[in-house]
Amino acid sequence: MSSVHLIHHGNIAELRLDNPAKMNAFTVAMLDQLAGHLDAITRNASVAAVMVTAVGDRAFCTGADILGWGDIGPAEFARHWVRDGHRIFDRLARLSKPTIAVLNGHAFGGGLELAAACDIRVMTPKAALALPEAGVGIVPGWSGTQRLLRLLPEPMVKEMALFGNRIKADRALACGFATAVDDDPRAVALALLERAVTLSPRAVEISKSMIHAAQDEDKAAMIESLGSAAIAATDDRAEGVAAFRDKRTPNFSGK
């Protein structure tokens, strides 16, 4: 049975795709499970970092299960399948905790878009990237033509989406899409995450927010979040709340 597992390794959370019969392609149920796990991770203050993995060694994820969406009508396809996937992947991209995708095999279509939603990626030498949607009469729908362009050169994205070419691991490393290419990408990812969790959680969270804002990744929310965090630490905020509670006029100090 296809599923997405949430596994905790101390303060590192692992999201593991488990649909090996379909090369870890997403089903509707798997999307729903991923959304629920991301909610749980967001609420769990003990989670300091996240690793996205998949079972097996053939594929990280080959996108969406064609048999799962092939009979969906046009309106439902656009309004739910595409938008739900986009919303869930956006949620992963905007986690305040550092994230790593472990590409144990090929990342095609939605699988590539899932990897792009993580902060960094580690690949095996045999892994390849692709956007094969045009081969089945559709287009990338979970940020493949948007977020991916901030991580890969435009001609490389076009090479995949318009010409059907696959990008091998060495090219992904050369252009910075992959942080490392290694026969044991999981071990490399765990070493990176174990280093990350020794750093200041608040400094990491705010650094990630500022980097994302500079790249227009949820920029408006990032700006307001940082501003709200700054104002929450002021004496004026405490005075405003106290005055409201006491039903009096606040006496702001500007501190």
Residues annotated catalytic, as ranges: 113, 133
Torsion of CA 51, 52, 55, 61, to 10 degrees: -160
**DSSP result, the chain:** --EEEEEEETTEEEEEEE-GGGTT-B-HHHHHHHHHHHHHHHH-TT--EEEEEESSSSEEE-SB-HHHHTT--HHHIIIIIIHHHHHHHHHHHT-SS-EEEEESSEEETHHHHHHHTSSEEEE-TT-EEE--GGGGT----SSTTTGGGGTS-HHHHHHHHTT-PPEEHHHHHHTTS-SEE-S-HHHHHHHHHHHHTTS-HHHHHHHHHHHHHHTTSSHHHHHHHHHHHHHHTSHHHHHHHHHHHHTS-------
d(C-alpha 49, C-alpha 40), whole Å: 13
Closest CA to 41 of 3, 90, 7: 7
**Spatial separation of the C-alpha atoms in residues 75 and 240, rounded to whole Å:** 48
